[in-house]
Amino acid sequence: MKALITGANGQLGRALQETAHAGTEIIAAGSAQLDIGDADAVAAYVGQHKPDLILNAAAYTAVDKAESEEEQALRVNRDGPANLSAAASANDARFVHVSTDFVFDGVSGIPYPVDAPTAPAGAYGRSKLAGEQAVAPDTLVVRTAWVYASTGHNFVRTMLRLMAERDEVRVVADQIGTPTFAPSLARALWALSAKGATGMHHYTDSGAASWYDFAVAIQEEALALGLLDRAVPVLPIATSDFPTPATRPHYSVLDKSQTFALLGAPAPHWRVNLRQMLQDVKTHG
């Protein structure tokens, strides 16, 4: 099988390459190789390489900047999936697109099922919802949340740096979601595509946490592995204490029950995968 991975230099793109099944021919396309917002470029690239499967890990993810760059966010997050979906259909390839918990307003108190009403609170969420609506009905769309990896820029690596540099860290405690290890998501995307899944699915690691809970766990696990030399106070703060241009969901836990049933098992708990990620950092730097 030949698989095209867009956004190949990002956290998920790299994880998809690392977790691909043996014998899969990978075409890794970063933004330098393929501008997914350019319909002609996408049509030509897919027509040239003729993949059996396209996995779209490319996205505009600057949540706050999207408030002032909504057209740019839409070009990547709406037009990109539309272009890839059209090219997949024209070349008889399957298409997998990754979306986000930000399509929901965050006012629920229970996990969002796949058919829950969408109501994004900001430009980033609107652009991702537009991408969901722009793809063909036989596309596999997988919403996820709070993705991190052992490399790249993410919350875990930021916390490790701040905890090493500062005498205390302050972390928002009233936003609830689920941390998701990029390789865990990548393996799920490969498995779902192998099963021929289509339509909307939710996938994150298991469990739920606030950003504060996540930060506390990062410090505890990092101390146990010797990645930090000392513990510093981790102080909970409210979202209102840390204003940002974009409104973030206060609660965005996704209901994964249908996806877990299809895969035959639940995802590992987020803390198990956090421990694995930190072990990777200790081993590889």
Please list the active-site residues: 124
Distances, alpha carbon 84 to alpha carbons 17, 74, 80, 100, in Å: 19, 14, 6, 18
Element (H, E) at 56: strand 53-56
Give the CA angle between residues 65, 60, 86 to the nearest 5°: 145
Q: Write the CA distances from 49 to 97, 180, 229, 246, integer angstroms.
A: 19, 31, 49, 38
Q: Which two tokens stand for residue 161?
A: 């740096």
Q: What is the DSSP string of 210-238?
A: EHHHHHHHHHHHHHHHTS-SS---EEEE-
Sign of CA dihedral 267, 271, 274, 275: negative
> If you ran DSSP here, which 8-state letter would residue 240 be given?
G
